[in-house]
């Protein structure tokens, strides 16, 4: 996807500022030092460490930060809240993997096989929807970030995609998300409504085992909040 247009400006999620650094700078630094992660929690912690290091300690990072959901009134937990003088940034992570075993930076990895790519799309869109409410309530910036070694997420769907329940939730290259998104079989609990429009751009992260299934990782970020005109990137 292309970065989202806001008026005549184009918002690139990788340029969202976190204190004195940016999302893109953090991801580039991570790729040099940690090209693979054991789990989503490992990714979250490594991202937070990198933010604090690149900002020279001037950004305080809080994992699983409790946030009151303004719509439901319930307390929900944000994967990562970055507290900075320039403005807070809330980040939700998804790390969807297919099976891969190998080594990177002298460390051995055995990634799990998460077969349900339809749920990966649903949960990622759910993050975006939740961030819309949270960033509006806190007047802060939000970022939904997906990392994966599963090409099914970034490759355009084939001719059988019309039969998929998640066809409205596509996050592949060239897809666009906006408005009411309905699950294919009519299951109302999976309906999500987005206030903004989000265009997906996948970026290369690392290739610890190029040419081997699961040996290449890519990432997608969607900006939610003020940088995207108040609701979206």
**118-172 residue pLDDT tens:** 999 999 999 999 999 989 888 899 999 999 999 999 999 887 766 789 999 999 9
Question: Which two structure tokens, joined as six digits, stand for 225?
Answer: 């909040």
Q: Could you tell me which residues come within 8 angstroms of residue 211 by beta carbon, excluding any fewer than 6 positions away?
A: none
pLDDT at 227: 64
pLDDT at 225: 87
Q: Which residues of the chain have pLDDT under 70?
A: 1-10, 70, 161-162, 227-233
Residues 171/153, Cβ–Cβ less than 8 Å: yes
Burial category of 40 from C-beta neighbours within 10 Å (exposed 0-12, middle 13-18, buried 19 and up): middle
Residues 183/190, Cβ–Cβ less than 8 Å: yes
Residues 75/131, Cβ–Cβ less than 8 Å: no
**121-132 residue pLDDT tens:** 999 999 999 999
pLDDT at 217: 98
pLDDT at 94: 98
Number of other CB atoms surrounding residue 167 within 10 Å: 16
Strand partners, 198: 177
Round to whole Å and give the CA distance between 13 and 11: 6
Round to whole Å and give the CA distance between 193 and 131: 12
Question: Which two structure tokens, joined as six digits, stand for 168?
Answer: 């409205």
State the pTM of this model.
0.91
pLDDT at 162: 67
């Amino acid at each position: 996807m292309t970065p989202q247009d806001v008026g005549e400006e184009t918002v690139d999620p990788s340029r969202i500022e976190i204190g004195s650094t940016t999302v893109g700078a953090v991801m580039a630094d991570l790729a040099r030092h940690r090209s693979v992660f054991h789990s989503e929690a490992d990714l979250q912690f490594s991202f937070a460490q990198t933010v604090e290091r690149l900002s020279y300690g001037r950004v305080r990072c809080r994992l699983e930060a409790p946030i009151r959901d303004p719509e439901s009134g319930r307390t929900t937990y944000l994967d990562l809240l970055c507290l900075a003088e320039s403005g807070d940034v809330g980040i939700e992570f998804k790390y969807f993997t297919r099976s891969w075993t190998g080594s990177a930076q002298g460390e051995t990895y055995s990634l799990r096989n998460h077969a349900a790519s339809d749920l990966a799309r649903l949960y990622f869109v759910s993050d975006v929807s939740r961030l819309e409410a949270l960033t509006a309530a806190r007047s802060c910036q939000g970022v939904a970030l997906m990392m994966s070694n599963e090409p099914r997420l970034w490759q355009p769907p084939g001719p059988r995609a019309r039969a998929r329940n998640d066809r409205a939730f596509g996050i592949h290259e060239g897809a666009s998300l906006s408005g009411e998104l309905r699950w294919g079989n009519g299951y109302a609990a999976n309906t999500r409504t987005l206030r903004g429009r989000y265009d997906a751009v996948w970026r290369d992260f690392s290739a610890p085992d190029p040419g081997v299934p699961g040996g290449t990782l890519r990432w997608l970020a969607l900006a939610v909040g003020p940088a995207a005109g108040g609701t979206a990137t």
